[in-house]
Structures are given as C-alpha cells and as structure tokens.
Structure 1
Amino acid sequence: MSLQRASGVLLHPTSLPSRHGIGDLGKSTYEFLEFLQASGQKYWQILPLGPTGYEHSPYIMNFSSFAGNPLLISLEKLVDQGLLETGDLSPLMPTATTQPHQVEYDRVIAHKTPLLTKAAQAFFEQFPPGVHHDYEQFCRSQPWLEDFALFMALVEENPDKTWNQWEPGLARRNRPAMATKRQELRDRVNYHKFTQYIFFDQWRQLREFAHDRGIQIIGDISIYVCFNSADVWANPDLFQLHPDSLEPAYIAGVPPDYFSETGQLWGNPVYNWEKLQETGFAWWIDRFRATLNYADLVRIDHFRGFEAYWRVPGGETTAIHGEWVKAPGQAFFETLRDSLGHLPVLAEDLGLITPEVEELRDRFNFPGMKILQFAFGDDLTTNPHLPHNSPCNAVIYPGTHDNDTALGWWHSLDDTTRLRVTHYLGYDRPEQVKEVHWDLIRVALASIANLAILPLQDVLGLDSEGRMNDPSINAGNWRWRYPSNHLLGQDLSQRLQHLTQIYRR
C-alpha cells in the first residue's frame, strides 16, 4: 500500500476530557476532530477499541476483538435519544485520592454501568423485539454478537472465574446448557447487545464527521486476544489449549528486548495456525472486516508474529524460556488480499526484526514504522530509525503509546545520547534545546516517510506524566487523560498547521 504524504495525531478516545471520568464519543471527540482539521492533519490514529478487563490494556485484556468498549458511549447522546434524562447525568467528581488526568476505571464502571443499564431498559420498553429495525438489522449483521453478549453475561455471573472454570456444559459450549443460560440471563444478554448497537452507531456518526473533514481513522489490531474472552471461548480449537483443562498450553510474549531484560510475557494464548489455515483463515478475515467497518487503515500490532512468534510454556513467570515458531504469514496475507481486494495495512515492525519479517512486510508493500526515540544509539549512519534513512513507504513517530513522551525521553537520556540528539537537531549544546518535543515533531514532519504520526502528548509538550504505557511494568498503564486545562486552541493549531504546510504534509 502506497501512502500519500500526510500527517496525523495519535490519541486514544479514553484519553479525551469528559464529565464522566473517561473520554467518550461525545462533544470533546468532535472538538478534537475539528482541531485536527484546523491543524491540517489528515489522520487520527487510535488504539484497539474493544471492552477491556484486568488493567484495561486494549492490546492484552480485551473481552472481545470484535466488540466496542461500552465505557466510551456518550451519555449525553443517550439523553438526546430520550433514553436518559438530563438529571441522570451528574459528573463523576474527583476524590481526595484521585490522580489528576488519570482514568479511574473502577469508579468509571460503577458510575456509567447503571446509567447504561437504565438506557437499555428504556430502549426495550420503547422498542419491543422486532420493532426497532436498525437494532434488529445490527444484531443480524454481527455474527459474533450472540456469543459475545452471552459471554459477558456469564462473566458477570462468574466474576472470579475464567470461562474454562465455568460449569462444564458452558465451558465446553453444550448447546442446551447455553440455551438455558441465554434465557435465564436474557436481560443482561440484551443489555450487552444494546450497548454494542449504541457504541457502533455513535462511532458511525463520529467517523462520518471525520470523513466530512478530510480525516481518516487508523485503527489497530492486536495480534493476540485475551484468554478470558469471547474469542477463545467461542473458538477454542483456534488456540493452543490443553484439551482437558482448556488452559493455554503456550502463552505469547517477546524475548528480552529494549523494554525489558526478561522479555515481555503477555499471557495471551497463541494460535493454532494449522487449524486456522484449514479454515481458510476465516476468523482472521472476519476480524479484519470488522475492524475496517470502523477504521480506514489498520495498524497490525506485533506484525513480526505473522512470520514467527515467541511462545512460552504455560505457567512460566518470564518470557525468557520461550521459542520461535514459524507462522504462515505469506499464506494468510495472500488469502486476506483475495478476500478483501485491498490491504490498507500498516505494519508495527519493531523489536527483533529478521530479514524474513522484512521480506513478508515488503512482499505486500506494507509501510513499516520508524521511531525517533530509537534513532540515536551508537551508530548515527545506519540506524534505520533516523529520518534520513527511512524509506518513503513508512510511518514515522517521535514515539508511540509504548514510549515515554518526547520531553520525558529527553530528560531520561544519558549525556552522550543527549549530545547526539542535540547535534542532530542543529544545536551546539543541550541547554540550547528549549522545546525538544517541537524539534522532534519538526524532524518527523520533515522526514521522507510518507506518513508522520504525532502523539498528542508531544504536541502539548507534556513530560512523563503524559505517558500512556510502559511495557516494562504491568500495573497502572492505559490511564492517561488529556488535561483539559491545556486547550487545543488556535495558537497551537496554527503552529502545527504551519509546520505541516512547510513540509508538504
């Protein structure tokens, strides 16, 4: 896929301001899109949108790779639909222990779930089964929805158990047992169908608004799914599980790397690629289609896992004792191309990348990623992340959601590396570098990479308090919220637009 020269901003919707403790698909998101338009940006990049569980990682702890996160639903829009009343919407107020600019997920869930439940009750009172044609059509058009809605109702009934610990008839998907539970839990099953309908209807409106302003959305597919998810429960044969316990036989991760000396142990089950290939990769093709229903391009997280993946025996506490196993990446992408006709894919090709991974990426002309924070190691001549070494068919970032902010990174550098960065940016001494975040933004925009994506934290000039994720730790990530006292005003917009125009983005 060849990209036109352009730029955009990386920001997950959870990070936007709202009255309810978490960003949503309401007013602030529309205002953010207007800021992008005024700033000359053509892309909005997001993280995976699925409903999150433990620690709320959108990559590792999704209950479904097809569903949307109901916490992102705008309550104000439900008032506009007559499903809630204005008096229902008291804001989620900070407490004495509230951390500024952080999503407090437990409080958000307790705050929003009763209101979403009330809206669902009002909806089904107004529209008995068979009456609301858009809702009925949505349910018929989403083949994953029935399993997901029942799965979530069962998760609520069994809050301390993973699906393989449910009663055997449900864990092994006995049809009579599932039918009985679907009837017994029908109110909660209908609730989860309703929230998915509302989520995707609100997202459809938002995406149309973005398109009307010349902005495309870059979605994200995490290569793996959570073990305790509707995906694994509904398709256990597609994953490497123990046949008796249904526990993962192997779990996913990466070996020791830049982020961790013991590697990263993600805990997700790895795929049974032989079974997937026997089915013509049907589940994966459905997943891409579902993602392209809400995004225009798709970033594939951990792309190298399609060429070979690191699997670690279940029960290990680090990722050190794993092994590389080949995956049928070429056959998969050929099948996907035959099914979709066009592959609007960006490849996250970071980490331990081999010539075989590069060959797979280049065979399908997928743009790879270049990260400026990785560009200033010992070798300033051949480092592939230096902007002058980038190919045109690439996406360049100052940093991603896994990096510190540009300012936080700068403050963490040793003296030698800081001097390399200083000289590359055109200064003599580090103390002359006053706004390193804008320097890196300028370098990214000036690079020959066709697409430049800028984290909003760097546009705002935030220090490490704006970091979204630190892969070296498990707890406390994915909570950053855009500080509403930093206004996305005209001065900021004009500054970004000015650089965008200079470098023909």
Structure 2
Amino acid sequence: MTERAVGTDLFSTRRAGVLLHPTCLPGTWGVLGQSARNFVDFLASAGIRVWQTLPIGPTHSDLSPYQSLSAHAGNPDFIDLSELILSGLLDQHELDDGVLKPGRQSCFELAAQRFFALAEAEPDNQGYRHYLEYRAENDYWLDEFSLFITIREFHPGLNWLQWPTELRDRHSEALAAFAEKADSSRQRVRFEQFLFYQQWQALRHYAHERDIRLFGDIPIFVAHDSADVWANRHLFKLDSQGQSTAVAGVPPDYFSPDGQHWGNPLYDWEAMAGEGYEWWLQRLDSQRHLFDLIRIDHFRGLEAYWEIPAESGLSRDGYWVAGPGREFLEACFRAFPELPLVAENLGVISDEVEELRRSFHLPGMTVLQFGFDGNPRNPHLTHNHEPINLVYTGTHDNDTTLGWYESLDDRTRHYVNHYLGSSGENMPWPMIQAAFRSVSSLAIVPMQDLLGLGTEARFNTPGTIENNWLWKLDWQVVPSGLAGSIRELAGLYGRLT
C-alpha cells in the first residue's frame, strides 16, 4: 500500500458542506465580491464548513464548466466589477454600462488602461508589484492563454481548428506577428486573470476567517477547443490537422442508458509520461493555489478510460483502454506530498479502480439517490458508508432530491420512506438528515436540496446540451430560519467544529 502524507484535516473531524457553483449566485456586476461574501456568511451561520464548487474556468457558449477554454484560467464573468470602483479603476456610470457582456469587456479595457497607466507613472506601486508577481508565477500558462483568447476574439465564432493554418499550426513567425499586433488585447486578458485571482484569493481569505474551506473540481479531460490542446498538441491523440483520432465518453450507466459521447480529445499518456507528467503537475499546482480540497472528476479514467473512435458518434462503439494509474499518481504525490485529492468514483467502477483509489488513501463519493436499487449491500446506502468517503444527497448531475423522489415509482418510493423512517411528506429533509447522520466525515448537500426545490431547479442533465447550468439562487426564497435549521441538524450529528 502506498503511504502518503495527508495534506488536509478536512477528514479528521466531521463536517458539513454545501455544493453551489459561483454562477448560481446573484450579482449584477459579477459574483466574487459582496455576493460571494453573503453566501459565505450564510454558510458560517448555518455551521457549514465546506463550500464545494464546480470547475471555475472560462466556458464556451454552452456554459458547461466541464468544457473550459483553459485548465488554469478563471472565468472572468465571475469578477465583480463593482469592486473596481473602490480601487479607482472604474466609476459608477461606466459600471452601469457594463452589465451586459460586451459592456463588461469595455469595462475591463478601461480598467486595464488605467491600471497600466498608473504603473507607468508609478512603477513601484503595490498593485503593479502584485501584478508582476502574478505574471512571474503564472506565465507558464498565462502567456499562451492570452494569445489563444485574443486570436479567438479576432476570429469570432471559430474554434482553433478553423483558424488560418499558420495560427492553427502555431508557425512561430505568424504567432509573433499576431502577438505584436494584439499586444493591448493580450494585456487586457492577463489583467482579467490577475483580477480574478485577486478577488478569488480575497474570497478564500474571507472564508478561512470563518472556518470555511473551498472545495474545487478538476475535469479529468479538457475541451478540444482550449488553450491547453492548441498549445500542447503532442500530448493528445490528434492527427496532423489537429483533429481527434479518438475521443472520451462513458458506456451506459445510471446517468445515461445509452452511454455518453463527450467528444473530448484523449491524452497521449505515453507522451505525458515522457515529460514526467509536467502538464498535469502544473494543472494540479494551479488548483492547489485556489482550493483547499480538489476532486478529480471521472477518477476511473486514470485506471482505464472509454475510448471512442473519432469517426463514430456512438458511445457503444467505444472500448476500455488502460490509463496511467499508479505511475501517474505516484508522480503527483512525489511532487505534492500533501495533495488534497478526492476521487470521483461514480458510474461503472471496477475493483481495479477502487484498489487504485484505496492504495493512495483517496476519499471517494457516495450518493444517497443511487442507493435504492433493492440491494442491501449497495455502497450508497448509509449503513455501508465509510468515514473516509464523502456522502451527497445528489450531485450537480442529478435531479434535485425532491425532483428525484417525485419521479420514483410507488414501490421504490415506499422503499425510500421505509429505509429513512419517513412518510416522505417533508422530502428532501429526511435525505439531508440521513446524509448528516452518516459515518462519512464530510456530508455535502446541493443548495437546491436545502431549499427543498424540485426538478425546475435541476442544474444539469447529462447527455443534453440545452437548459443546463442556468439555475440561480434567489435570496427572496430562502426561509429566514434555514441557517438555524441546518446548524441544529449539524450539531445533532456532530458536524459543528
């Protein structure tokens, strides 16, 4: 068994957490300012000690946080422009014009012009020193990302495979000429990322002061149309034109009876290994600076992944291929002995996947909604839980617990009620109570469940591309006594630290 240091105390004491993506927060000018602080205050008053988010990178038009433009960058839509008034980079009327997305970019351009003008006049000012430090620490990805985003802006509506050949294929002279022509735009992109980082770190500090830790999420695969694939084509299974030769997905499972065809390019793990997994180590390192705990989505893909031939649009045409497994994880923990990882081990999970997870002492996940198939040995039922694993009522891919419960057939609904000792009248609270009662050290509940919302509040339906990632928290519908009720339940089951 592999021994490693435990880099977080989050599993040494029973805690409760809430799952809510920042895009769900209300905010006219962005969410990483007062809106996020209000949510942290709510969590603190409720006795919640962990805030779990989804991936926080910039998205494509489908808004999926699992198909980001970068494995490192933050989503500039999160940045709270109103915070820039305090620093003198914007004024109120400019802010009022920046509500819509095109206006937001104009606000960023104005703020960047003022920031760098001040830096030119006072090169030793504190803000500019912090910016230079940020650049020095992040240019290993930020330089390519700023170039990638700027080319996208010059070729709207096109992915990098559709760019002029010399830019698509990264001819050095063409890239240098474009970079010089678009220098101010690249400067704005780098400035946006600096603002994101500053606001995120301020939020993280605010949360830490209230004994709340941030829990992030890394998708195992990255989007084809991303700075990462464009800048590192040799690390992916691509042809000479940049097209995928094989893509990722999953076979049929709970979420999708036909399987899922994700379309992400697959890694060339042999090439990754040849470079000491440096690309992945850099990815993990950037997330370590943002979060206190990190989930690897689709952990099973490290043991074996579902490879679908690129010419096929059907998941069932795929097959399992061995992943990098132990060698990869050993490299990760050599680089970061206290790497605070959680393994997402949902779906088609083999004994080999669980053996890999356990050999590195990685917490896994249980989801109460998955427990009621009639098998008393189902690992998602609370009497089969283990302290190291996390328990959820549901995840971002599930229906809300109330929506799920209302969709059950009568026999399964009776089983749920009987198991929970409930009449079902107050659902989802019997499920929330079961999660809090579990022996699992960390119990996490989506915010929609705490609000008792139905299917109308579902955040995502796997295998679909419409009406996802849109739900918003409305403080007007949050009961005044909700925080107290959550705190009481957390105290009852020993989850108040």
TM-score under structure 2 normalisation?
A: 0.94
Q: Aligned pair 1:448/2:447, yes or no?
A: no
Q: Aligned pair 1:500/2:490, yes or no?
A: yes
What secondary structure sits across from 1:247 in the alignment? coil
Compute the displacement of 1:501 (Å): 0.5
Q: Aligned pair 1:49/2:45, yes or no?
A: no
Name the CA distance, whole Å, in 2 between partners of 1:128 and 1:172.
35
Q: Aligned pair 1:28/2:35, yes or no?
A: yes
The answer for the alignment partner of 2:411 in structure 1 is 416
Name the CA distance, whole Å, in 2 between partners of 1:271 and 1:109.
33
The answer for the alignment partner of 2:134 in structure 1 is 138
Q: Which moved more, 1:314-323 or 1:68-77?
A: 314-323
The answer for the alignment partner of 1:463 in structure 2 is 454
Contact 1:470 1:477 in 2 (8 A): yes
Amino acid in structure 2 at the alignment position of 1:458: D
Contact 1:35 1:488 in 2 (8 A): no
Distance 1:457 1:296, change over 3 A: same
Compute the displacement of 1:163 (Å): 1.3
Sequence identity percentage: 42
Amino acid in structure 1 at the alignment position of 2:51: W
Q: Which moved more, 1:163-172 or 1:353-362?
A: 163-172
Q: Aligned pair 1:181/2:178, yes or no?
A: yes
Q: Which moved more, 1:2-11 or 1:278-287?
A: 2-11
The answer for the alignment partner of 1:160 in structure 2 is 157
Name the CA distance, whole Å, in 1 between partners of 2:64 and 2:298.
15
Amino acid in structure 1 at the alignment position of 2:114: A
Compute the displacement of 1:448 (Å): 0.7
Q: Which runs of 5+ in 2 are unaligned?
A: 1-5
Q: Aligned pair 1:65/2:57, yes or no?
A: no
Q: Aligned pair 1:121/2:128, yes or no?
A: no
The answer for the alignment partner of 1:305 in structure 2 is 301
The answer for the alignment partner of 1:199 in structure 2 is 196
Q: Which runs of 5+ in 1 are unaligned?
A: 93-106
Name the CA distance, whole Å, in 2 between partners of 1:383 and 1:176.
59
Name the CA distance, whole Å, in 2 between partners of 1:475 and 1:111.
25
Amino acid in structure 1 at the alignment position of 2:28: R
Compute the displacement of 1:174 (Å): 2.1
What secondary structure sits across from 1:305 in the alignment? helix
Contact 1:350 1:369 in 2 (8 A): yes
What secondary structure sits across from 2:332 in the alignment? helix
What secondary structure sits across from 2:369 in the alignment? helix
Compute the displacement of 1:206 (Å): 0.5
The answer for the alignment partner of 2:387 in structure 1 is 392
Match for residue 437 of structure 1 among 422, 428, 441: 428
What secondary structure sits across from 1:68 in the alignment? coil
The answer for the alignment partner of 2:397 in structure 1 is 402
User: Which stretches of structure 1, 4 residues or longer, exceed 4 Å deviation after superposition?
Assistant: none
Name the CA distance, whole Å, in 2 between partners of 1:476 and 1:393.
35
Name the CA distance, whole Å, in 2 between partners of 1:76 and 1:434.
43
Q: Aligned pair 1:382/2:382, yes or no?
A: no
Distance 1:90 1:498, change over 3 A: same
Contact 1:19 1:91 in 2 (8 A): no
Distance 1:116 1:497, change over 3 A: same
Deviations 1:348-367 (A, max 9, x none): 00000000000010000111
Match for residue 469 of structure 2 among 471, 478, 486: 478
What secondary structure sits across from 1:265 in the alignment? strand
What secondary structure sits across from 2:353 in the alignment? helix
Deviations 1:116-143 (A, max 9, x none): 2222222223223955221122111101
The answer for the alignment partner of 1:320 in structure 2 is 316
Name the CA distance, whole Å, in 1 between partners of 2:489 and 2:454.
22
Q: Aligned pair 1:344/2:328, yes or no?
A: no
Q: CA RMSD in A?
A: 1.6
Contact 1:55 1:476 in 2 (8 A): no
Compute the displacement of 1:484 (Å): 2.7
Name the CA distance, whole Å, in 2 between partners of 1:53 and 1:118.
24
Name the CA distance, whole Å, in 1 between partners of 2:290 and 2:315.
34
Name the CA distance, whole Å, in 1 between partners of 2:467 and 2:97.
23
Question: What does residue range 347-366 of structure 1 map to in structure 2 within 5 Å?
Answer: 347-366=343-362
Amino acid in structure 2 at the alignment position of 1:415: D
What secondary structure sits across from 2:229 in the alignment? helix
What secondary structure sits across from 2:143 in the alignment? helix
Amino acid in structure 1 at the alignment position of 2:160: W
Q: Which moved more, 1:115-124 or 1:189-198?
A: 115-124
The answer for the alignment partner of 2:208 in structure 1 is 211
Compute the displacement of 1:488 (Å): 6.4
What secondary structure sits across from 1:402 in the alignment? coil
Compute the displacement of 1:108 (Å): 4.6
Deviations 1:49-98 (A, max 9, x none): 10001301111x21101000000000110111111111223389xxxxxx
Distance 1:425 1:308, change over 3 A: same
TM-score under structure 1 normalisation?
A: 0.93
Name the CA distance, whole Å, in 2 between partners of 1:189 and 1:423.
60
Name the CA distance, whole Å, in 2 between partners of 1:486 and 1:399.
21
The answer for the alignment partner of 1:11 in structure 2 is 20
Compute the displacement of 1:205 (Å): 0.5
What secondary structure sits across from 2:17 in the alignment? strand
What secondary structure sits across from 2:476 in the alignment? coil
Deviations 1:185-217 (A, max 9, x none): 111111100000000000010000111111111
Name the CA distance, whole Å, in 2 between partners of 1:115 and 1:55.
24
Distance 1:257 1:157, change over 3 A: same
Name the CA distance, whole Å, in 2 between partners of 1:87 and 1:109.
16
Name the CA distance, whole Å, in 2 between partners of 1:362 and 1:180.
51
Deviations 1:225-271 (A, max 9, x none): 1111000011111100012x210111111011112222111111000
Deviations 1:328-384 (A, max 9, x none): 1100110110100112111100000000000010000111100011011121x1111
